[in-house]
Amino acid sequence: MKNLFLSAVVLLFSLTASSQILKPVKWSYAAKRTSKTEAILYIKATIDEGWHLYSQNIPEGGPVKTSFTFTPAATYKLAGKTTEPKPIVKFEKAFDMNVGYFENGAIFQQKIKLTGANAIVKGTLEYMVCDESQCLPPETIQFSIPVK
């Protein structure tokens, strides 16, 4: 009975250790006013070693691209599209196509026109990351960026 209990405990710990939740991307946010009526939002991805995050510009049939959805508000309006740094472009066998992605980190930028006081930009971002042996399921995260 004692051996059975000990075996169950060892099995439980080994299952727990192997099912750790992977979070290879950390997101941070900032806003900088460029004038009384304009600001730039900075959405920064810090990517763990060995992982990569996909560009916003991925062809159909590829991995889930990084995308941003901004919640409309009376205090701001989007000015143009969200920009990104130049991605690394390589052929990935898993998707049978060239794809753009980022390693280590990327800063996405969105210009806004301020139309009211105390703007807080809210929204969601969706992204997918892969390493050499696996891709994690796409994840959606909510964000809130105060513009001071």
Number of domains in the chain: 1
Q: Establish if 47 belongs to a structural domain.
A: yes
Q: Establish if 48 belongs to a structural domain.
A: yes
Write out pLDDT tens, residues 98-127: 999 999 999 999 999 999 989 999 999 999
Q: Establish if 33 belongs to a structural domain.
A: yes
What domain range includes position 90? 22-146
CATH code for the domain in which residue 84 is found: 2.60.40.1250
pLDDT bracket for residue 14 (50, 70, 90): very low
Q: Establish if 100 belongs to a structural domain.
A: yes
Q: Tokens 């439980």 label which residue? A: 12
Helices (H), the chain: 2-18
pTM: 0.85
Q: Establish if 30 belongs to a structural domain.
A: yes
